[in-house]
A and B are shown apart, each in its own frame.
Chain A
């Protein structure tokens, strides 16, 4: 009797070109066990699993068809949105750019005229630098000294002083290419400070502070005062799976353990109760549900290509505009690499 030869790579339950279920899980899900997570690396290599006939290369069409954005919450200060189909490297790049490379306006130079308060000049200057300003940085350019601003002084030094009195004869340290009122973005809504209840210094009787501050466009890499976000973070979508049925008392215990109500009780006809996963998105991976139960009963997993981003903006730009600026900055970085190479 001759048996038909079947290739080991082409078994009927796992045909050629597909991965068996456990390998697929390893590849696309990060599993959080009680002591540490496993399978944390994202397998991007195009030749991974090549011996099983799986083509892991990703071209632009595959990316476009897999990619999705879903905005969950959008307010004036905060945005929470999901990005599905990107890699951890891209998510981290956006987070790094949002914190350090999206430009804003912040006070850089302070000309102190009079300070008789108890706060030293430099401490006051530091505090002024950290104030969030309500100025759209896209309207401004970076500060650069152009050579036409250098002027020969034949009679020696004549320091030009900027003071708070507005006489037009007195020249100032700064010069703008056009008057600020002529730009529509600024004349519609004048530049100012975002929150007007920040205490800079407490003054006693007879003390006064008189100063002039110059705000300049900069990026967070230079100094944290130029960072446009209060906090920005991402997490991967959690997936909670019960591998066995949990009934009765055990079900109630399980539901009580979770501080964010991931589990819920489902009544099965005859007075019997069963625990089901109601809201796995809220899971914070505290690990309470896997602590005292048998291992493998509750499986905590993360989906490796689904990122939940939260961006809290300080105020100059709205959070969705911030994200679009971050994408533009990343694009510009890529352009610069190619241009410089050729």
Chain B
């Protein structure tokens, strides 16, 4: 009766921004990004990539409630970088890694099909 519609999980409604940004008032170089209509699929990957960055001091994500379809990613960096920079850098790096992954997989698939075609 009170369940939200299934399409609410991935359709961003009109007027809400997909990604919004809020600086932390009490700690320098810390911010919280709220990403609408995403869940562990993107949140965990983003957190993992942020951890790999040597300028990031703190990176974590959470889903405030399983029926509210958004994640909050909190980032704190050293003074050499800023949370927005760390965030965009992490997503850029992820993009490049996925490109390389896709290319490796396609190469391997072509090699495998060649092998099958040659019959061994």
Contact of A58 with B10 at beta-carbon distance under 8 Å, contacts A81-B108, A89-B47, A334-B94 already known: no
Q: Kindly identify which residue among B18, B35, B101, B109 contacts A71, using a CB–CB cutoff of 8 Å.
A: B109
Q: Which of B23-78 contact A (CB under 8 A)?
A: 33, 35, 38, 40-42, 44-45, 47-48, 51-54, 56
**A46 and B90 alpha carbons, distance in the complex (Å):** 13
B116 at the interface (CB under 8 A from A): yes
Cβ-based interface call for A167 (8 A):
no
With the chains together, A219 CA to B9 CA distance in Å? 11
Question: Is A285 close to B, CB under 8 A?
Answer: no
Residues of B within 8 A of A337 (CB): 18-19, 35, 42, 91
Is A221 part of the binding interface, using a Cβ–Cβ cutoff of 8 Å? yes
User: Nearest Cβ in chain B — how far from A73, in angstroms?
Assistant: 9
B6 at the interface (CB under 8 A from A): yes
Question: Which residues of the other chain, A, contact B35 by a CB distance below 8 angstroms?
Answer: 337
Which residues 7-24 of B sit at the A interface, judged by CB distance below 8 A? 7, 9-10, 17-19, 21
**CB within 8 Å for A93 and B97 given contacts A70-B108, A74-B109:** no
Find chain A residues with CB under 8 A from B40 CB.
92, 96
**Which of chain B's residues has its CB closest to A92's CB?**
B44
**A70 vs B115: C-alpha distance in the bound complex, in angstroms?**
13
Check if B18 sits within 8 Å of A57, measured CB to CB: no
Give the distance to chain A from B90, nearest Cβ to Cβ, in Å: 9
6 A-B pairs within 8 Å (CB atoms) are namely A45-B51, A64-B100, A96-B40, A320-B105, A334-B95, A341-B88
Tell me whether B53 and A46 are in contact (CB under 8 A).
yes
Which residues of A come within 8 Å of B, CB atoms? 42, 44-47, 55-60, 63-64, 67-71, 74, 81, 83, 86-87, 89-90, 92-93, 96-97, 101, 219, 221-223, 320, 323-324, 327-328, 330-331, 333-338, 340-341
Q: Which residues of B contact A (CB under 8 A)?
A: 6-7, 9-10, 17-19, 21, 33, 35, 38, 40-42, 44-45, 47-48, 51-54, 56, 84, 87-88, 91-102, 104-106, 108-109, 111-113, 116
* Given A221-B6, A330-B98, 4 more pairs with CB closer than 8 A: A46-B52, A89-B44, A92-B44, A101-B10
Q: Which of B87, B94, B113 has the most CB of A within 10 A?
A: B94
On whether the beta carbons of B108 and A89 are closer than 8 Å, the reply is: no
Contact, CB under 8 Å: B6 / A223: yes
Q: How far is the CA of A87 from the CA of B99 in the complex (A)?
A: 16
Q: Which residue of B lies closest to A43 (CB)?
A: B51
CA–CA, A341 to B98, complex, Å? 20
Shortest distance between the CB of B22 and any CB in chain A (Å): 13
Interchain CB contact under 8 A, B102 and A328: yes
Q: In the complex, what residues of B have CB within 8 A of residue A335's CB?
A: 95
Shortest Cβ distance from A68 into B: residue: B104
**Minimal beta-carbon separation of A199 from chain B (angstroms):** 28
